[in-house]
Amino acid sequence: MSPEILRLIVQATADTVLMVAIAAGLGTLLGLPLGVFLATSRRGELFASPIANGLLGAVVNATRSTPFIILVVAIIPFTRLIAGTSIGTTAAIVPLTVASIPFIARLIEGAIREVDQGLVEAARAMGASPLQIVGKVLVPEALPAIVLGLTLALVSLLGFSAMVGAVGGGGLGDLGIRYGYQRFMPDVMAAVVAVLIILVQTVQSLGDRLARRLNKRLRQA
Amino acid sequence: MTIPLKPDSFAAALPLPPGQPPIIRFERVAKRFPARKGQSEVTALQEISLEVPRGAILGVIGRSGAGKSTLIRLVNGLERASSGRILIEDEDVTALSERGWRGRRRATGMIFQHFNLLSSRTVFDNVALPLEIAGADRDAIAAQVTRLLALVGLSDKSARYPAELSGGQKQRVGIARALATEPKVLLCDEATSALDPETTRSILALLRRVNRELGVTILLITHEIPVIKEICDRVAVIEGGRIVESGDSFDVLTRPQHPTTARFVEAVTGVELPVGLAERLRPEPQPGGATVLRITFTGENATAPVISRLSGTLGIDVNILAGRIDAIAGRPFGSLLVQVPAQEPERSAVLGALRSLDLRTEVLGHVA
């Protein structure tokens, strides 16, 4: 493999990591409150507002059922509005973020719903406000599950990022298709796949380890 | 379940300060849950009138589904009354807003059957939680938590997580947490129902200490009569959403008026006839046979040497079939099944002697 190609792989890896990291960061920033709201706004719950819950749920479902490649194209005007351009690695962050928000929101909703309702009742009995219940009980108690969910989201985003080559987004997927597939360079393809495997493995094992460290439930005296 | 008594259980209950207004008062409270899809309206509680004296331990006993969980949650606003009034320290809380309740709840501690400790927090941080919620500063929190962990005997477990503790230890953390904001009232929701008898006893002893030493009024709900017997000054029996009987624990348990109470009491204070004898029991006197009596001892006469006195002074043989002596709210209580001659004048002499000793005597039947 020529130094040129090697440089391309390094660059593509950096692009992928950057896109995924920023999209996951923004996705968590927006998906966390959305997920918490979805998990606490049904009838009789902490922030009971069944109508808002239903509407947001429908939007989340609609976004999640749109195939990612179609989403990328469909929101091009929005991407241009945010990023100033609709092509390139920076622009690709916009559809990745948009796709990750509902995904992460649903994962966080699931994690929060797993928290024992008895803890919510105990916190209410202490005079906690709904926001205190979220901040001091729901999120800390759900944290191990949230970390596992975010790990899953990161791995999925790595997969999504391969498709943003369609709008000129760089990254490993793009490199694999243009060099490995279209130019018949199997060694580039193999290298791209190897780097992706290493990335996924690293993310997954770090996520697992962190979740295990945060989980205080299984310890025995 | 039988809880063996420690000698100190016989120590007399503290007299309640007379004339003080009750700390909690229910006035004809009802709670209905509105009809939902596929379900008609449910009436959980009706016509509840109850007073919890300041400084008392009041136990509400009932089977599951009787409405006791709803009842206890009305006191800290986790449930709202549908009608009637609830007064806490003479303040009508029935119409309090959710925000208004938050302040009240900080003056009311609560412990739970399943402890409800945060698994992600250490013992220390669990006890600190109500103080954090109330906005206490770090130094005040540290001092208070240290003091409370010492009170419940868990100073050495401060840095442990709940998963590393036994059930009894978890409930001790629950009690420390409930006392963190120095409440005047402690609500106990089946606090010992998930614990074994030995642990139950130690938790009840701790609750009694909290009541006597810190002056915290305790309202507890349970389905276990031993809990009432062991620590409650007063008891209310709830059945089908209504209070069917209430009063001083000793009176209610020794003279149950309602069938539900009688069933609860039977298991603990009752003495059963030996199996063979129960079958031979006849309602009418049998010539040359014997009469079976149940003698109930309460208060001071519980320890009087009644049987030996009967045999000694009357010269009549009294055959003891079964017996039991126990304590309710710290006062001794006994029950004895005896067999005495059915023929006169011996029978009347025995009954007369028992009556003159002011003992409750019941004729259960006759045997040949």
Task: Provide the pLDDT for residue B300.
Answer: 66
Residue type, B177: R
Q: Is A136 on the interface with B (CB under 8 A)?
A: yes
CB contact under 8 A, B164 and A123: no
Disruptive mutation site among B36, B115, B119 for chain A (greatest number of A CBs within 10 Å): B119
Distance from CA of B102 to the nearest CA of A (A): 4
Q: Kindly report the pTM of this predicted structure.
A: 0.85
What pLDDT is stored for residue B301 in this prediction? 65
% of chain A exceeding 70 in pLDDT: 97
Give the chain A residue nearest B133 (alpha carbons): A128
Nearest to B120 among A118, A122, A143 (CB): A143
CA separation for the pair B165, B145 (Å, rounded): 18
DSSP-assigned beta bridge partners for residue B108: B185
Residue among A128, A216, A220 whose CB faces B119 most closely:
A216
Q: Mean per-residue pLDDT for A201-212?
A: 95
| Touching B: A residues 92-131, CB under 8 Å | 116, 118-119, 121-129
Domain parsing of chain B, residue ranges: 21-268, 275-367
The share of chain A scoring above pLDDT 90, in percent, equals 74
In CATH, what number does B275-367 get? 3.30.70.260
DSSP character at residue A209: H
pLDDT score of A17 more than 70:
yes
The verdict on a CB contact (< 8 Å) between A122 and B161 is no
Chain B CA closest to residue A144: B120
Query: Does B300 touch chain A if contact means CB atoms closer than 8 Å?
Result: no
Closest CA to A90 of A79, A103, A105: A79
Indicate yes or no: CB of A140 within 8 angstroms of CB of B130. Answer: no
- The per-residue pLDDT for B60 is 96
Please tell me if residue B97 touches chain A, with a CB cutoff of 8 Å.
no
Q: Rounded to whole angstroms, what are the CA distances from B293 to B314, B318, B323, B363?
A: 17, 10, 11, 5
C-alpha pair distances (Å), B264 with each of A121, B63, B190, B201, B222: 30, 9, 16, 19, 11
- Smallest CA–CA distance from B161 into chain A, residue: A216
- Residues B25, B296: Cα–Cα separation, whole Å: 34
pLDDT of B12? 40
User: Among candidates B154, B171, B116, which has minimal Cα distance to A124?
Assistant: B116
Examine the pLDDT at A221 and tell me if it is beyond 60: no
Specify the pLDDT at position B202: 95
Q: Identify the pLDDT of residue A217.
A: 83
Nearest to A126 among B130, B161, B163 (CB): B130
Tokens describing residue A11? 């660059």
For domain B21-268, the CATH class is alpha beta
Contact A118 B181 (CB under 8 A): no
Degrees to nearest 5, angle at CA A34 with A32 and A36: 70
Question: Least CB-CB distance to B105: which of A118, A126, A219?
Answer: A126
- Searching chain B, which residue's CA lies closest to the CA of residue A221? B164
Distance from CA of B220 to the nearest CA of A (A): 15
The residue in chain A having the minimum alpha-carbon distance to the alpha carbon of residue B121 is: A216
Q: Which of A47-61, A152-166, B63-77, B353-367 has the lowest mean pLDDT?
A: B353-367
B304: which DSSP letter? S
By C-alpha distance, which of B77, B109, B88 is closest to B183? B109
Q: Do B161 and A136 touch (CB under 8 A)?
A: no
Q: Is A114's pLDDT higher than 50?
A: yes
Which of B101, B120, B169 to mutate against chain A (most A CBs within 10 Å)? Answer: B120
Using CA coordinates, name the residue in chain A closest to B117: A119
Strands B185-189 and B217-222: parallel
B296 close to B287: Cβ distance less than 8 angstroms? no
The residue length of chain A stands at 221
For residue A119, the distance in angstroms to the closest alpha carbon of chain B comes to 5
Is residue B106 a contact partner of residue A127, using CB atoms and an 8 Å limit?
yes
Contact A132 B133 (CB under 8 A): yes
**B116 Cα to chain A: minimum distance (Å):** 5
Chain B hits for A128, CB-CB cut-off 8 Å, are: 102, 133
Residue ranges of domains in chain A, CATH in brackets: 3-214 (1.10.3720.10)
Residues of chain B with pLDDT under 50: 1-15
| Structural tokens at position A5 | 């190609």
Residues A119, B118: C-beta atoms closer than 8 Å: yes
User: With an 8 Å Cβ cutoff, are B103 and A217 in contact?
Assistant: no
A3-7, A142-146, B248-252, B354-358: least confidently modelled range: B354-358
Q: What is each CA distance from A92 to A80, A171, A196, B303, in whole angstroms?
A: 10, 10, 18, 89
pLDDT score recorded for residue B11: 38
Average pLDDT over residues A149-170: 87
Q: What CA–CA distance (Å, rounded) separates B250 from B296? A: 13
Residue carrying structure tokens 């890896």: A13
CB contact under 8 A, B118 and A141: yes
Q: Choosing among A126, A132, A214, A217, which should be mutated to test the B contact, i.e. which has the most B CBs within 10 A?
A: A126
pLDDT at B150: 96
Give the one of A121, A140, A214 whose C-beta lies nearest to B78's C-beta: A121
Q: Which of A119, A132, A219 sits opposite B161 (nearest CB)?
A: A219
Cα-atom radius of gyration of chain A, to the nearest Å?
A: 20
Rounded Cα–Cα distance for residues A189 and B87 (Å): 76
* CB pair distance less than 8 Å for A121 and B118: no
Q: Give the pLDDT confidence of B303-321 residue by residue, as tens digits.
A: 667 777 777 777 777 888 8
